[in-house]
Amino acid sequence: MTDRFTGRQAIVTGGGSGIGEATCRLFAREGAVVTVLDRDADSAARVAAEIGGRAAVVDVRDADAVTLAVNEAAEAMGGLTDLVNNAGIGTAVPLLNYTDKQWALLIGVNLTGTFYGIRAAGPIMLAAGKGSIVNNASLTAIRPTRGEGPYSAAKAGVLALTQNAALELGPAVRVNAVAPGMIHTPLTEMVVSNDEWRTAAESGTPAGRIGTAEEVAEVIAFLASDAASYVTGQTIVVDGGSVLPSLQSDALLRAISQAGFG
């Protein structure tokens, strides 16, 4: 086991479930003191208790509550070296059927919540002269998915925000993002537990399977770690290769290659 995060203090938003929970566990295992920030009090308390960390019950859409929780966490942990803006929600509705309320919710949690986290943590990290922020975006920021218009727009905004924050908070603070494809968490349980949908997702992915929360946490940890000390403003897609398009079927490829060159 490595100890990449010894002496570091991290806040993980949405840390009570899925990718956020796996990230809390990995950071804590590798030495960090972790604040598990989530709107769900029970999940935050459960994960915090299991990793010996702190829980903060906050809705990331609430600017004042985010600022207060970030300041309290930094105070209680003796500093703040890492922020993982991971809290997010998704849904699928045809674009023209989205209501104002649904639009505001998706943008509010996924994009505005990420901004609030950066705005609260940035000054603390700049004052300390060091820090890392990793934002959890989505493959849908890069490749549209039917039914996920506001979610895609919010996540594309997260990528833009990542680049902007990297420019404005450097050199002291690095800011990067991950863009996961289909990952098995409570968010995607409905798709994963449906044989037809799961098979479709798996067959469109070179890795041949759906990813795990731990596999995304590993990439978040890499970006946060000193191993990525010269990486900022970047996004790593964690999708088993599903973004790679191919209109050429295996059968067509075989036929063409058997026909030979020329």
Q: Which CB sits closer to ligand NAD, 100 or 226?
A: 100
Q: Which position among 43, 112, 176, 232 is part of the footprint of ligand NAD (CB under 6 A)?
A: 43
| 4, 18, 36, 236: which one binds ligand NAD (CB under 6 A) | 18
The region that residue 32 occupies, defined by phi over 0 for left and psi between -120 and 50 for alpha, beta otherwise, is beta
User: Which residues are known to be catalytic?
Assistant: 151
Q: Taking contact as CB under 6 A, which single stretch among the options 25-33, 56-64, 195-203, 248-256 is the one that binds ligand NAD?
A: 56-64
- Say how far apart CA 155 and CA 138 lie, in whole Å: 6
Q: Is 82 in the site for ligand NAD (CB under 6 A)?
A: no
Q: Which one, 67 or 128, has the nearer CB to ligand NAD?
A: 67
CB burial class (10 A; 0-12, 13-18, 19+) of residue 97? Answer: exposed
Q: Is 39 in the site for ligand NAD (CB under 6 A)?
A: yes
Question: Which regions of the chain does DSSP assign to beta strands (E)?
Answer: 9-13, 33-38, 54-57, 82-85, 131-136, 173-180, 183-184, 211-212, 235-238
Answer yes or no whether residue 149 interacts with ligand NAD by CB under 6 A. Answer: no
DSSP character at residue 101: H
Window contacting ligand NAD (CB under 6 A); options: 9-17, 124-132, 193-201, 228-236: 9-17
CA–CA distance, 59 with 241 (Å, rounded to integer): 33
CA-closest candidate to residue 59, choices 113, 100, 115, 120: 113
List interacting residues with ligand NAD (CB under 6 A): 13-14, 16-20, 38-40, 43, 59-61, 86-90, 109, 113, 136, 138, 180, 182-183, 185-188, 213
